[in-house]
Amino acid sequence: MKNINNSDYLLSDLTQLNGVGKKTMNILRKKKVNNIFDLLWKLPKSHTDRSLTIKIEDLQVGKIQTIKIIPIKYQFPRIRNLPKKVICQDETGKIDCVFFNSNEGYIRKILPLNEEITVSGKVNLFRDKYQITNPTYVSKDSSLIESKHNKYSLTEGITEKIYNKIIAQILKNLPKLKEWHSKEILSLFDNETWNDAIIKLHDPNNIGNFRAKFYERLAYDEILASFLVNSEIRKKIKKIKKDKKKFDLKNSDKVIKKLNFKLTNDQKKTLIEINNDLTSKSKMFRLLQGDVGSGKTIVSLISALNVVNSGYQVALMAPTEILARQHFVLAKKIFPTQINLALLSSKSENKIKKEIIDNLKTKKIDMVFGTHAIFQKKITFSNLGFIIIDEQHKFGVRQRKLLSDKGGKNCDVLLMSATPIPRTLTMSIYGDMDISIIREKPNNRKEVKTYSKLESKIEDVINFVKKEIYEGNQIFWVCPLIEVSKKLDHESAVKKFEYLNKIFPNKVALLHGKIENDEKEKILNKFLEKKFLILVSTTIIEVGIDFPNANVIIIENSNKFGLSQLHQLRGRVGRGNKQASCILMFKSNLTENAKKRINILKNSNDGFDISEEDMKLRGFGDILGFKQSGLKNFKLADPVHNENLFKLAETEIKNIENNNLDIDKYKTLLKLYDQADIINDIV
């Protein structure tokens, strides 16, 4: 393929490569490799050293070896399915090259008699004779073989040899891209160009060399690309000029005074930030990030009340119907009676749904609560001025951008998340948004006491549960998510349910991923109404629901979970005024990291501190596999090991924003790093 001197080559279809047909392309697509650029980030895991050529007498059975031999005789049996053999020799001995499923013409071509050929493959012994079956490499040109060959994480159907050929072809055709970094930035990476850095990334001698300047240069590229996209989205949103919302805070002050608790300083500060955005000329696109139980919902509802009183409608979206209902009930409890509220539920009769939809059009409803269904095309608002999204961590950058466009120029957007993110990642995950953080917990909220218990001490735990039930409390009993087998996960929950139901007959409910959504809602509602006292569940109870009477959570195989997920699960209890407890069950022989995780959780209830510690405990590149946080999956950059690069990118973005610098020189960078679909609307 001819060298193309721009990024189009890198973003072109895989079938543009020699030797890649539809079959190979489909195999690669299963690994989310859709273009040539994607292939560059499937890094070698190890290598095979074929550089050393040895004599036949020094061969080691079971090892991959490289030899220079002379074919002296063909043995091609007439019976079709028998293997074909070529007897070869050097001055020290003989070896057979054995072929299955190869035609005679091909074998004669690659192993011509009486010519020196270099062969590499795994050596075996058969009837006291050396042989190599289906040799990996055969060539007259020894330089093509005598080197180190990368081993990649392959999909079935692609051999190491073919994969290496594909990568070699790409590296040979790498276009000379125009440098996008300044001389000052480039000097920090020993002036490594993008092209040279990519070639070094695939050099077998550099496998695992995360600290090398070429590696850091490429990691910085993807961090900066992410920050640039977020910055451009943020600037675009800020340019949208809306009508100012006019607030009379007397109404919301009355509601705040009637609450049976005082707002924390963090809640007050956050409410001021949100109100300032809502009453400004620029469209609000803000994230309200708070630890579990920090009181985000009340802040969002008070700001919603101000918007309603200024003449606009509000929509609040939650991930589950039960959580939407919970917010609806709280709003009905604290809002003045003249505010018209509605809950749009899938369980509502069609007549009621139609009535709610009609009333939203005619502004007879001031605020609606529901799941994502409230943003269906058929639902239109008379004057939507504020969208609140609870538990937004499932939304990516593109979804957030589409959301910010919803409701027209006068519609402000507030997203809420109970997943604390380490500071290093804030710019990359949420850089397109303004951020408010609530760290402080309400004064009436007691810290959850956390204990660890060996699984063999199950009787002690059962006695503790009996005592809690006697005192009128409810219990969550969580069985682990075993990633390799959802079936096992399902079975472990069922078995625990059967075990507990014998001890506490008719008091135990079961919840897992295979139960239909409607049935889940029924089970959770019955638990909320205290018709069940123990809920055996998988991790699906992790997000956001308030069960004020659930004061104990028992987490089995707690060492299977990350710290942040354990903290999220622990946040399901202690929502009322009573002392709550979390029991972490574990098997003996824990790893050192598992012990550290359990001790950190026992000693801290601060989700932000816990997320920092969680990040530090994970291996290089592993933090971003931690799906429950919805973190961007960087290919090379690691928030712990590359913290300096995240800070460098943050400084660069602030310089671009503060000095209103043109980002045209970064167009190729943005186009390459999978952001074209977003950035094309912006730059």
Tell me the pLDDT tens digit for each residue of 591-603. Answer: 788 888 888 888 8
Euclidean distance between CA atoms 604 and 207, whole angstroms:
38
- The reported pLDDT for the residue numbered 629 is 40
Euclidean distance between CA atoms 598 and 579, whole angstroms:
20
Report the pLDDT averaged over residues 450-473.
Answer: 91
Q: How many CB atoms lie within 10 A of CB 596?
A: 15
Euclidean distance between CA atoms 494 and 516, whole angstroms:
16
pLDDT confidence bin for 118, thresholds 50/70/90? very high
Sequence-ordered alpha helix ranges (H) in 40-122: 104-110
Domain spans of the chain, in order of start: 1-45+159-176, 51-146, 250-438, 449-604
Question: 241, 409 in Cβ contact below 8 A?
Answer: yes
Report the pLDDT averaged over residues 289-313.
Answer: 91
Instruction: State yes or no: pLDDT of 289 exceeds 80.
Output: yes
Residue 533 to residues 63, 504, 569, 674: CA-CA distances in angstroms? 61, 9, 18, 49
Euclidean distance between CA atoms 615 and 422, whole angstroms:
8
- The reported pLDDT for the residue numbered 455 is 87
pLDDT confidence bin for 4, thresholds 50/70/90? very low
- The reported pLDDT for the residue numbered 132 is 95
Winning range, highest mean pLDDT, from 80-84, 330-334, 477-481, 488-492: 330-334
Instruction: State yes or no: pLDDT of 583 exceeds 90.
Output: yes
- The reported pLDDT for the residue numbered 306 is 95
Fold match between 250-438 and 449-604?
yes
Stronger pLDDT, 587 or 199, i.e. the higher one: 199
Tell me the pLDDT tens digit for each residue of 481-530. Answer: 544 454 455 458 888 889 999 999 999 998 877 777 778 878 888 888 88
What region, left, alpha or beta, does residue 93 occupy, with left being phi > 0 and alpha being psi -120 to 50 degrees? left
Report the pLDDT averaged over residues 219-237.
Answer: 88
Report the pLDDT averaged over residues 221-239.
Answer: 87
Provide the β-strand partners of residue 71. 88
Euclidean distance between CA atoms 532 and 74, whole angstroms:
78
> What percent of the chain shows pLDDT beyond 70?
89
- Say if residue 668 is exposed, middle or buried (CB neighbours under 10 Å; 0-12, 13-18, 19+): middle
Tell me the pLDDT tens digit for each residue of 123-176. Answer: 999 989 999 999 989 999 888 777 887 877 766 778 778 888 888 899 998 988
- The reported pLDDT for the residue numbered 2 is 42
Instruction: State yes or no: pLDDT of 674 exceeds 70.
Output: no
Report the pLDDT averaged over residues 448-472.
Answer: 91
The residue with tokens 């007498």 is 57
Stronger pLDDT, 654 or 405, i.e. the higher one: 654
Report the pLDDT averaged over residues 565-570.
Answer: 85
- Just give the CATH number of 1-45+159-176: 1.10.150
- Just give the CATH number of 250-438: 3.40.50.300
For the ranges 292-301, 644-653, 669-678, the lowest mean pLDDT is seen at 669-678
- The reported pLDDT for the residue numbered 476 is 92
Tell me the pLDDT tens digit for each residue of 372-420. Answer: 778 777 888 899 999 998 875 555 666 666 666 667 788 999 989 877 7
For the ranges 74-88, 112-126, 410-424, 475-489, the lowest mean pLDDT is seen at 475-489
- Just give the CATH number of 449-604: 3.40.50.300
Sheet holding 534-537, edge to edge: 449-454, 581-586, 550-555, 474-478, 534-537, 508-511
- Just give the CATH number of 51-146: 2.40.50.140
Long-range contacts (CB closer than 8 Å, 24 or more residues apart) made by 665-668:
665/180, 666/180, 666/224, 666/225, 666/228, 668/6, 668/7, 668/177, 668/178, 668/180
Q: Is the pTM of this model over 0.75?
A: no
For the ranges 220-229, 450-459, 613-622, 656-665, the lowest mean pLDDT is seen at 613-622
Question: 474, 550 in Cβ contact below 8 A?
Answer: yes
- 3-state secondary structure at position 68: strand
Instruction: State yes or no: pLDDT of 365 exceeds 90.
Output: yes
Report the pLDDT averaged over residues 274-293.
Answer: 90
- The reported pLDDT for the residue numbered 630 is 39
Average pLDDT over the chain, rounded to an integer: 84
The tokens for 314 are 């509000």
For the ranges 112-116, 154-158, 555-559, the lowest mean pLDDT is seen at 154-158
